[in-house]
Structure formats: structure tokens, C-alpha cells
A and B are shown apart, each in its own frame.
Chain A
Amino acid sequence: MKNFYDFKVDNIKGLSAQEKKFRNRELDLFSKKGFPNKREEAWKFTDLNTILSKNFAYITNNYISLKEKKFELIEEFDHNYLFVIDGKLVSNEFKFEDKNKFLIKEYDYKKKISVSNQNSLNFLNNALATGGYFLEVSKNYKFKKPLVVYNHFSKNIKEQIISYKNSLILNENSELTILNYTDTNSRNNFFVNSFDYLKLKKDSNLKNIFINKERCNCYFHHYLKSNLEQNTNLDNYILSSGFKFNKFDIEINLNEEQAKSSIFSALSLSSEEHQEIKSSINHNFKNCQSYQKIKNVLNDQSRGVYQGKIFVKQKAQKTDAYQLSKALLLNDNVEFDAKPELEIYADDVKCSHGSTSGSIDLNSIHYLKSRGIPEKEAYKILISGFLSEILEKLPKDNLKKFLIEKMGRQINGY
């Protein structure tokens, strides 16, 4: 096969000799394996190598970001924000918060974070990542307003890979809601390979939401690693319809008692979108809970994949773990693949999963039509009912209103 990529550590400016050595070694590890393909179990349903080679002529990591200063602020609700261009933190504003209660800076590449499942994209990220942010919330501080991360990609990106790492630490008894809001002015194909590290210390609480502003030609791989201490709560909301390709690799480690995590996802996919959520929830300690609810609506030639794994260690007794994936298939050109996996070594546990996929209930369509609602409208009503259930747990505020409105637009195809 033709080689459709060329990555060089030398394209990154200002590296020390030691760093260069490390990055080159990681790049070698990547080069040995190349982009993952379906021979790897974790990529069975998503042959990234084929997808990229079909859609890209030549990917490089050689790019210069434009200094785009203008961006549209979300007006629907009050928020703090970080403005990030091509992975680099450009500006921030925390006008609703106490300035002494948090720390924001650029990501420090000297700190290494190990990942339990090393796929070649992690190596590639280690080799090429630049930019990214580091945010730490102080003890006992609860954010008053949500934080929006404007994750912007500049106009001139074309056939390039963007790699970065972010890190977020919540100290004891702190609280934060973060909205990752992706958009771009680029009409070209580009690939993003990001790594997020979340650490939740005792009694902290994080809501982590992902949504897009608009449809874009972006190919996204998102690795999300989180470590949870005692009595913490992590809720992930994945509403990121609109990418050409998107894979969330979510690793959640429940390391101490009463740690709770959840993944909620509502995706409405159309055209040739391909989205995958792969989770591995590791119950490493007793009395932890995890919950996953994944909903997909598939239209046109789209493809949805869910690979969820619950791993329960021998000592993780009294685990309560649940997985549910549901998919609506709107025509015969779409495909939904699921692999809800349980690997359990403790006996006093409650673990279950369910998975369904099928068509929309024609009786319900008939019911709505008989009440004078046109067929197209009836479909929309049922789809939005199917998806919006995901947001049930969010508090009723302007943020939720904003998300519901966005989801409505996604259903209508932006």
C-alpha cells in the first residue's frame, strides 16, 4: 500500500535533546505498527488505516496555525472559557470565578502519564503532541458557571495531523462542568489525535460534555483516561455528531470506594459519518458503580460502533455495573456494531448489559400520522424523544436548554 503519511519530530520547534530522543523512540514504535487496522481487536469494527488512506493523500505534522482571534461566544448561557486553536491554549476568561481557586497553564510535557492499553495512536500522540492545557481546581472550590473549551481548528489546516494533550485535576471536594465545543473554519480533511487525562480526588465531581458546533471534515481520535478516588463522580456526555470520523477511547479507573462514573451518549449520524465509542471501565476497588447508556440514530450511509468493556477485579466486590446500547437504523445502508463485554473475577457483583438495534416503531409513526402530523415530522419527534433521554440527569438550566437545542439541530442535519 502507498504510504499516505510522513511524520517528523523535527517539525516540532524548541525541543530539548532528551525530549527529541523520547519522541523519536515513540515515533518508531508507531511506525512499526502503523495506523491501527481491523486485525487489532480494539479496532475490529473501525479500520482506521483504510479510512485514512482512502480519504487522505498525504498526512503530515507540518503546519503553522493562523492567528485567528475572532470566535463566536455562546450567548445562551453564562460561562467561563478557554480558547484553544489547533490544540494550543490562546486565551482564557474566568470572570465568574475566584481567580485564586484554580490554576490554568499550558500542558507540561515533562510529566508522563502511562496508559494501560497502548495502541499505536498513543505512541503517535507521545511523539507529536504539542500545546494543550493544564487546569487544576483547588480544594473545596465549586465552579459557579460551566467552563466552555472552544476547541477551534484553523482555516488553513489541510491533510495535517494535530496532536495535543490536556490534563485536568480536581482536588478534594471540588466541582466542575466542562463543555468541549469543537468547531472549525477549515473545509479540508484533517486528523486530530488527542489525549485527555482527568484526575478526580476525593469527593470531587466532574461533568464532561462533548458537542460540536457544526458538521466538519474532521477525523478525530480522542483518548480519555481518568483516575477516580473515593466518593467521586464523573459523568461523560458524548453528543459529538457531525465529524467524518470520531473514536472515543475511554479508560476509567475506579480506584477507591464509592467512585461512580457514567458515559451517556446520544449520536445522530448521517452521510458517511463513522463514530465509535470504546470504553474500558476498570473496577479496581469494592463498592464502585459504573453506568453506560449509548444511543445511536443512523441515517444515510453512516456507521455506529460501541465497544464497551467492564472489567471487575477479584477484590472489587459489591460492584454495580451496567451497560446499555440502543440503535435506531433508518435504512439498509447503515450499520451498527456492538461488543458489550464483561470480564468479571469477583463473585458478589451485579453486572449486566443490554443491547438492541432495530428500526423505528412503525406503530408509533402511524399513531402520530393519524393525529395529523406529517411522516417526516413524526420521525423527528420519535428520534428526538429517543435521544434526549440521555440528558435526563442534567440539571434544568440554560446549558441543558442549549444542548437540547443543539441536538435538535443535529437531528435536522445541522
Chain B
Amino acid sequence: MKTEDLKNNKDYKYGFTTDVENIRSPKGLSEETIKFISNIKNEPKWMLEWRLKAFNRLKVLKEPDWQKPKYPKIDYQNLYYYSAPKSSSEKPKSLDEIDPKILETYKKLGIPLVEQQRLNGIAVDAVFDSVSVATTFKDELTKKGIIFCSISEAIQKHPDLVKKYLGSVIPLSDHYFATLNSAVFTDGSFVYIPPNTKCPMELSTYFRINASETGQFERTLIIADKGSYVSYLEGCTAPMRDENQLHAANVELVALDDAEIKYSTVQNWYPGDENGVGGIYNFVTKRGACRGNNSKISWTQVETGSAITWKYPSCILQGDNSVGEFYSIAITNNHQKADTGTKMIHLGKNTKSKIISKGISAGKADNMYRGLVEIKNKASNSRNYTQCDSLLMGNKCGAHTIPYIKNNNSTSTIEHEATTTKINEEQLYYCNQRGLDQEEAVSLIVNGFCKEVLQQLPMEFAVEAQKLVAISLEGSVG
């Protein structure tokens, strides 16, 4: 897309591309591509073998077709699986060395990498296209023994940890897109919090899909050792694209005894234009294992972008007394489709899980909650509470709820509630009467509807998320 076109199109605030020369892998999915990726990353042999194992598995797997959002067939041979900013062949040692154009991109996005970081107390592992470009605040974290680096770096420097945990939550042969990711993942973040350590700041990463025709395959692995705590933020905005782009990331969380992981996402990728042309396919596998006793994993997500969102951040509650939480807001407008929810699998005793899901659909969008709560027969005294509410704006959109509930234990309790309604006209009228125009009123009411989830977000995200909610629904009522 030409730059002039982009300038003319102001609907999408973050629609811009940066001109950075790319190094690309050979086109298409093949053993050569995988070897190329592994080679360029200077990976040890075991990693290449792992990738090839996944690739062999991929050959027999079929793309899933049960989900409601249908998409045109993806030509996997027509994608580039690796593209990195050229300047990364000599990794910058400080912020000054970073390509100024990249820094500019972040500025436009509103992540001031340079100064405001310190004020906000966030260490950013910024992912630009596929290679981690800059990592700040490393020293402060290193002092505490916290490892926060790109996954490629971790493979080099901490092979034991990676070997032990990579693929332990999302196995190689899990499903099509997860396996694809295992074979061709290019980069991502790696976090290890040592025992009895509380991470002093919110760790954060920014994903951007930049080079056209590049499916981005991120791999994130977070390990919270005994008695530790970490809060991780993931934020996404992507430049405007004309053709559909595939994003198949894998995120694995492991919480050991008494550890807690809080994972928050704001996703605002290009959703396609009003007619449903373009937009990102967001097929992400996120899964956390509460492996230790008294561990806790909490997912919070605000999903406003992408043409098709299809993800189910899940918790496997293995340890006794472990806790899983899922808070979600999914907003779809125009032709967007979201099929999202969670899985809570209770294996340990006295495990608890809580699901709060808010779906809002407007325009011609389809919004679906799909979730599984399963209590196995050894998980005595377990408890789940699920609430999923849907809000419909206009009569051309759809809101669907498909919960799967399986209870196999007599001392455990599962409660599930769901409602579907439209915006209360009396509330709208009340707001209008007090001088708020229609859009302000809708934004206010919707923000109220989502309050329970927004409250869970860390401060930095909460403000942005509230704005996003309002922006996403612009023009949907009237």
C-alpha cells in the first residue's frame, strides 16, 4: 500500500509502515525454511531437531474447521516465515544504536522507549517484526536474578530452562496452528523469575506486524519459580494492511508452587476496513499450567482488533489449591469475527477458577464466547464461576455463547450464567438528557458494562483500553 493512501486513511490510528530493509527466508513452508530460520538464529542442534519434529507432525495434521468464523484458505507456501530488520545483524548495544526509524514507529505507537519507561517502571522487550530489538532495564532485573530476554537469546544462554519447559504446556503435536508455530517460530519473549522473587516492575512486550506478507510466529515462555510473582503485559497494534495476515503465536506459562503469573493483553490489530477487506487473522494458542500447589494464573484480555480472533487462553490447574482466572472483553465491529473464550481444567484438589467474559458486537460482526470448564474426578472441593454477558448493537450482528461444562466430581461446584441483551434505551436516554451525545453515551455505558474486566488491567493499560473501547465502537450507533 502506498504511503499516500495510508495518510488519507485516518480511521486506523496506527496504520503506518516503516521502511526498513528486510532479510527474508525463502518463500514457503519447507525444511529449508526451517533450517534457514534455525541457522540465521545460530541455534543449537537440539532446537533444529525440535522444529523439524514439529514440521513432520504438521504434515499429518489438518487445519481445524469446527470454528464458526470461516476464512479463505491460507496459502502456506506463499508466506515468508522469517523477516528481520537488517540492522539486527549487528545487535545494538544501547538505545542510540537502534535504527531511528524503528524508534519513530514506537513513538507513533505511544511507547516511549527512551524516557518514559523509567517513569512507568516498565521494562520493554520490544519485538519489531520478528527480532527483539531492544531490551531495557535489563540490569535492574539481572540484579534480582530475573531473566527477561528474547527467546532466541534464551536458547543460547539458558538452554536448560528452555529445554525443560518449551513445549511442556503446549505440546508439539497440539493442533495445527500451535504445531506450525513450533516449527517456524522466529522470536518472542522469555521470562524466568527465580524462587521467592517478586518482579519489581510490570514486564511488557510490544508486537508489531510490519513487513507485508509475513505471518508472525511468536513464542513466549514465562516461568515463575516457587513463591515468585510476575505481571506481564502484551500490547499489539499493527500497521494497516490490504491483504490478510496470519498471526499464530504460542504463549506458555508455567507457575510452580506458590507462584503467581498475571498476563494482560490489549490487542488492537488492523481489523480490516468497513467492508471486511483485509485485517489480521489472529489464531493464537495461549495456555498456562498451574503446576505447583497454591499457584495462580490470571489472564486478562481486551480484544478489539483483528479481522478474525480465535483464541482461548487456558489454565490447567494441576497443583492443589491452584487458581485460574480469565477476564475478557471482546469487541467486534463491521465485519470482524471473534471466537474466543477459555478452558479451565481442574485436576488438583481445592482448585478454583473464575471466568468473566464480556462480548460486544456491532455492525455486521459476530462475537462468540466458547469455553470449557472441566472438573476431573480427583479434583475434590473445586469450584468454578462463569459469567458471560453479551451486548448487541444493531440487528445485523450476532452474539453467541457456547459453554462446555463437564463435572465429574460430587464435591465440586460449577456455576454458569450468561445473558444477551441490547443497550438499555432508558440509560441512553438518561445520558442524552444530561448533554452527552449518542457516542459518548454508548462509550460510557459500554465501559460500565466492561468495568469488571477493565478493573483487572494494570494502570498503564486501563487508560488505553478504555479509549480503545470507545474508538472501536465509533459509528456503530445512530
Contacts and interface: CB of A to CB of B under 8 A. Distances in A.
A337 B404 contact: yes
Interface of A: 41, 44-45, 314, 317, 327, 329-359
B377 interface: yes
A329 B418 contact: no
Contacts of A346: 392, 395
Contacts of B397: 345, 347
B49 interface: no
Given A334-B408, A355-B405, 7 more contacts: A339-B404, A341-B401, A341-B402, A341-B403, A346-B392, A356-B416, A357-B405
Nearest to B386: A355
Interface in B363-388: 377, 380
B399 A344 contact: yes
A359 B379 CA distance: 13
A32 B149 CA distance: 54
B414 A356 contact: yes
A317 B417 CA distance: 22
Contacts of B404: 44, 337-339
| Cβ-closest 7 pairs across A and B | A358-B413, A347-B392, A329-B410, A355-B416, A338-B405, A342-B401, A357-B407
5 contacts: A314-B395, A337-B404, A340-B418, A344-B420, A357-B414
Contact of A359 (B398, B402, B413): B413
B398 A344 contact: yes
Q: Which of A332, A334, A347 has the most CB of B within 10 A?
A: A347
Contact of A333 (B66, B377, B405): B377
Contacts of A355: 403, 405, 414-416
Contact of B410 (A41, A331, A341, A351): A331
Contact of A329 (B393, B396, B407, B416): B407
A330 B410 contact: yes
B390 A41 contact: no
Given A340-B403, A344-B399, A352 B417 contact: yes
Given A350-B421, A359-B410, A341 B416 contact: no
A356 B413 CA distance: 7
Contacts of B231: none
B419 A352 contact: yes
Contacts, number: 120
Interface of B: 66, 377, 380, 390, 392-422
Contacts of B411: 332, 359
Contacts of B405: 336-340, 355, 357
Given A314-B396, A347-B395, A353 B401 contact: yes
Nearest to B394: A347
A337 B403 contact: no
Q: What secondary structure prevails in chain A residues at the interface with B?
A: strand
B416 to A, nearest CB: 4
Given A341-B401, A355-B416, A349 B421 contact: yes
Nearest to B367: A344
A391 B111 CA distance: 62
Contacts of A337: 404-407
A54 B416 CA distance: 34
Contact of B393 (A314, A334, A342, A347): A347
A352 B403 CA distance: 13
A332 B380 contact: yes
A220 B260 CA distance: 49
A352 B417 CA distance: 7
B418 A352 contact: yes
B418 A332 contact: no
B376 to A, nearest CB: 10
Contacts of A45: 406
A86 B399 CA distance: 44
A344 B408 contact: no
Contact of A354 (B66, B395, B406, B416): B416
Nearest to A309: B402
B407 A345 contact: no
B409 A332 contact: yes
A357 B403 contact: no
A330 B416 CA distance: 20
A330 B418 CA distance: 26
Contacts of A353: 401, 416-418
A194 to B, nearest CB: 28
Contacts of B396: 314
Given A332-B410, A355-B416, A343 B395 contact: no
Q: Which of B66, B400, B409, B410 has the most CB of A within 10 A?
A: B410
Contacts of B401: 340-342, 353
A144 to B, nearest CB: 42
Q: Which of A330, A332, A335, A337 has the most CB of B within 10 A?
A: A332
Q: Which of A329, A336, A354 has the most CB of B within 10 A?
A: A329
A330 B421 CA distance: 36
Nearest to B66: A41
A4 B351 CA distance: 42
B416 A340 contact: yes
Contact of B409 (A44, A329, A343, A352): A329
B62 to A, nearest CB: 13
Contact of A317 (B66, B394, B395, B419): B395
Contacts of A350: 420-421
Contacts of B415: 354-356
Nearest to A319: B420
B420 A351 contact: yes
A344 B404 CA distance: 18
Nearest to A346: B395
Contacts of B377: 332-333
A333 B411 CA distance: 12
A347 B397 CA distance: 8
A350 B398 CA distance: 14
